[in-house]
Amino acid sequence: MKSTLLLFILFFGLTVANAQSAYDEPAEVPHKYYELSLKFIKETPGFTPPVASRTLGYIGLCLYESVVHGLQDYKSLEGRLPDLQGLPQPENAPYNWSIVANNAMAFVMDSLFDNKSLDNKILLYAARTDFNIALQAQVSTDVYERSVAYGEAIGQAIFEYSKTESGYRGQYKNFPASYVPPSGIEHWVALPNQVALQPYWAENRAFMPENVELGTLPPPPPSFSTDELSVFYAYSNQVYQTGLNLTQSQKDIASFWADAGGTFTPPGHSLSIMRQLLRNEAWDLGNSAVAYAKLGLALSDAFLACWKSKYIHNLCRPVTYIRSHIDANWSPYIATPPFPEYPSGHSSQSGAWGVVMTDIFGDDYAF
């Protein structure tokens, strides 16, 4: 999966120079909207990790397309991503790319988080208004109006694009009652009061189809076995023994990275780290937009590939195996989520994050 995700790094190819440059503008607009997106993921019902990853993918795409015509070294992804056609085009006239991005991101986030709270809707509209007022004072009336209109058009176009695949409104269909997991002691079974999370997520459209092809997906897990000399038993026993002897430091680390319900989820956690670094480094609007887009698309496809693999293998969770074959009274420190064990969602998205971050900041960057 990691090698294929590297294609995202090469995908944002060169284009002709544009006289009006997004490299000359600060990145406070996207930083603010990503701050709001993390809050919305945390507080909006149904934004599970797969749903959050997809949402961040479309937000990143929207940001990128809103400023790409102000980037000297990049070109639109229209015609390069599946089904992405007919995007609005800018006029041969000046634009303020911060204004464009402001109105594009406000539109797409308002649409993607359509079940957000009234308070968060007010925050979103306030951010859009505050940026528009501040930026309007810096440009002529025609530049302002042209930039607002183009931003809204891009935001609407990307949202319409998001509606053309099955992940649309995924927050409303996390737990389909129609799914029946396969039977067998090696397979995942729901714990009490659980229903499988997003078992049909593999039907979604990938931003890069290569990322979810069978030859790209992780290899199968070790062969299931209850033999105490088997690899599978050894791995399960390692989890069991570790869980019995957790140090406080291990518990703190587990809690910090758990990113369970009521948090901004693993993809939100990864996005949050990038956001902090882009702000600390004072990156401009253009370079920040490229970075956010690369990470958003990669995280979305990483989760899609992971979830496809999970429901191919349908592997039982450690809590099920350990209680059945090692210790009937054992419980994990972190509650077991409602989906198959393998592969790990945290690890899949972290692998994608690592590749993108290395491309952006280099392989000797410390923070």
Which pLDDT tens digits describe the chain residue by residue (367 residues)?
444 444 454 455 433 333 479 999 999 999 999 999 999 999 999 999 999 999 999 999 999 999 999 998 999 999 999 999 999 999 999 999 999 999 999 999 999 999 999 999 999 999 999 999 999 999 999 999 999 999 999 999 999 999 999 999 999 999 999 999 999 999 999 999 999 999 999 999 999 999 999 889 999 999 999 999 999 999 999 999 999 999 999 999 999 999 988 899 999 999 999 999 999 999 999 999 999 999 999 999 999 999 999 999 999 999 999 999 999 999 999 999 999 999 999 999 999 999 999 999 999 999 9
Do residues 211 and 4 touch, judged by C-beta distance below 8 A?
yes
Other CB atoms within 10 A of residue 55 CB: 28
Backbone phi, then psi, for 238, in 5-degree steps?
-65, -45
pLDDT recorded at residue 215: 87
CA nearest neighbour of 327 among 225, 237, 266, 214: 237
| Residue 136, token pair as written in the block | 């309007």
Report which residue type is found at 179.
Y
With H, G, I as helix, E, B as strand and everything else as coil, classify residue 187.
strand
The encoded tokens of residue 327 equal 């210790």
The pTM is what?
A: 0.94
Phi first, then psi, for residue 355 (nearest 5°) are -65, -45
* 166 within 8 A of 204, measured Cβ to Cβ: yes
Q: Cα 6 vs. chain centroid, distance in angstroms?
A: 16
- Residue 60 to residues 65, 137, 282, Cα–Cα distance (Å): 9, 27, 19
Q: What is the pLDDT of residue 260?
A: 87
Residue type, 173: K
**At 193, which amino acid appears?**
N
Mapped onto helix, strand or coil, the DSSP state of residue 194 is coil
State the sign of the Cα–Cα–Cα–Cα dihedral 246, 248, 252, 255. positive
**Could you tell me where the DSSP H helices lie in the chain?**
2-11, 28-43, 49-67, 97-112, 118-136, 141-162, 231-244, 248-258, 265-280, 285-313, 318-325, 345-361
Q: What is the pLDDT of residue 20?
A: 74
Alpha helices in 218-284 (DSSP H): 231-244, 248-258, 265-280
Give the DSSP letter of residue 189: -
Spatial distance between the Cα atoms of 99 and 8, rounded to a whole number of angstroms: 26
Distances from the Cα of 343 to the Cα of 110, 251, 259, 340, angstroms: 32, 22, 17, 8
Contact status, residue 57 vs residue 299, Cβ threshold 8 Å: yes
